[in-house]
Structure 1
């Protein structure tokens, strides 16, 4: 018993008391205290001691960190937790939040770093108008779009096409389907256009996938008088914002669940985008606002 206890890094009074209490079914208090060379009087005093205000405040802050961590579905790390705690009236530093996360074993979901592999397909270059200038002055000025893969048990691979407004980072249109087609890509943009009276001059950026270079897609873009911008061949970083959204979607939702079929995944995607990503999830790139708040600010909505 004595040898095993030597491996405990810190021998605070609390740790001594915890160790003794956990072994009372094997030994008496006297035997344990003698073996540990820990005064029995200190042990009994610790049992009836009243926690200090500092300790109570420490434990209360830990509870707040745990509450916010679970409230945001374990998707927030220390930086965003610090922001929501401060907004809720609990002023604190990122370092303090980090310490309490470590103490309580809290770790936000993480995504593996994306490793790009060059495409060997012979894809003709098209004009990159956006040219990685992801900042916009207002809404409906610059949009970006892309398609990602989502696996379900029954149908296998399914596909989500999304459209993001670069000013608000809001997903303003999306379409989910069982086939990766130009029609799916077009449907996502159609949905983005539903609440926009004038689409003339909007820059819509995409990659050089066959869905986006198809005549069907180009005809629709032209009919809406939008300007089509393309990533350079084999370079996903030209469309980093929408790539980042799809990575976040998978990190925070898709990889954490197994979907039985297309309909179950469809409901989950709808809930994630409409209830979480657009309206609750804060973004550092827009001053820790939600996309909906950023849009409301642009529209002058109180």
Structure 2
């Protein structure tokens, strides 16, 4: 469809130019944008997000067959051809394909820390163990990147940052927010995956200066950071996919409300005996 073709190429060419070339009116295109979304389109949008998230979770190693199997096992039945078409439309390719060059640099891992948690996500007090990660959020025609920091004692999100680039500053800003809001002591464990941002020297130095012990997941093992993976899954199912944000400002406002108002202060958590994170921490403080 011509309108869909225009939508897919926003940012590459002007809307006026594309409408003129394709022989459609701008007013018709904008009316198309405001149309009700069909069930088929809604499923396509949901599956695009799920495929991108699963692709990211398995560190870009899965192609269409494995992604289709993983999504089907998770309760989202889909065919290999359906997944392959979406991957092709978005230029997604498995890094273990023939076109990927395994250079010496790509196999080298610097600043990798030991896994201090070993999936022991229980904490006896606040600010004993934190975990952090980055997730991708698709907004209209571009990626946004959300970095969050969770206190494993209560599963409270104590720091977060949203940006259009996934650089070291993104995770440092989230960590800076957490450290400014909490009273920490030397020995706090902060766990992450082995992403390049978390292995950057500036970030390592920042944590070291705050007397933080650094922990990292094993290579390619997303379950070593399961609480954060669970939070991201809830965020997307409960907020991102239903809202389908079209602007960065809308996404930022929605994420703020979800984290600070709903998740931290209202959403009940099974790990907290059915209490929300803030209430759980307040109860623990009264009992101490």
> What is the TM-score of this pair, normalised by structure 2?
0.62
Q: 1:223 to 1:295 in 2, by over 3 A?
A: same
Q: How does 1:253-272 map to 2 (within 5 A)?
A: 253-272=239-258
| CA deviation after TM superposition for structure 1 residue 298, in Å | 2.3
Whether the 8 Å CA contact 1:126–1:232 is kept in 2: the answer is no
Structure 1 SS opposite 2:181 = coil
Aligned equivalent of 1:122, options 89, 107, 119: 107
Instruction: Determine the structure 2 residue equivalent to 1:201.
Output: 187
Q: How does 1:114-263 map to 2 (within 5 A)?
A: 117=58, 119=61, 122=107, 124=109, 126-153=113-140, 156-263=142-249
Structure 2 distance, partners of 1:182, 1:168, is 26
Whether the 8 Å CA contact 2:156–2:264 is kept in 1: the answer is yes
Instruction: Determine the structure 1 residue equivalent to 2:280.
Output: 294
Structure 1 SS opposite 2:146 = strand
Structure 2 SS opposite 1:232 = coil
| CA deviation after TM superposition for structure 1 residue 286, in Å | 1.3
| CA deviation after TM superposition for structure 1 residue 200, in Å | 1.5
Structure 1 SS opposite 2:211 = coil
Structure 1 SS opposite 2:197 = helix
Structure 2 SS opposite 1:213 = coil
| CA deviation after TM superposition for structure 1 residue 123, in Å | 5.2
> Deviation per CA, 1:108-142, whole angstroms, max 9, x where unpaired?
x9x97968636565253531011111000010000
> What is the TM-score of this pair, normalised by structure 1?
0.60
| CA deviation after TM superposition for structure 1 residue 213, in Å | 0.2
Structure 1 distance, partners of 2:156, 2:248, is 24
Instruction: Determine the structure 2 residue equivalent to 1:42.
Output: none
Whether the 8 Å CA contact 2:125–2:153 is kept in 1: the answer is yes
Structure 2 SS opposite 1:272 = helix
Q: Which runs of 5+ in 2 are unaligned?
A: 1-45, 62-95, 97-105
Whether the 8 Å CA contact 2:119–2:224 is kept in 1: the answer is yes
| CA deviation after TM superposition for structure 1 residue 222, in Å | 0.6
Structure 1 distance, partners of 2:54, 2:244, is 22
Whether the 8 Å CA contact 1:160–1:174 is kept in 2: the answer is yes
Instruction: Determine the structure 2 residue equivalent to 1:38.
Output: none
What is the number of residues matched between the two proteins? 192
Whether the 8 Å CA contact 1:123–1:233 is kept in 2: the answer is no
> Deviation per CA, 1:63-122, whole angstroms, max 9, x where unpaired?
xxxxxxxxxxxxxxxxxxxxxxxxxxxxxxxxxxxxxxxxxxxxxx9x979686365652
C-alpha RMSD over aligned residues: 2.4
> Deviation per CA, 1:34-88, whole angstroms, max 9, x where unpaired?
xxxxxxxxxxxxxxxxxxxxxxxxxxxxxxxxxxxxxxxxxxxxxxxxxxxxxxx
Q: Which runs of 5+ in 1 are unaligned?
A: 1-108
Q: How does 1:24-43 map to 2 (within 5 A)?
A: none
| CA deviation after TM superposition for structure 1 residue 228, in Å | 0.5
Larger Rg: 1
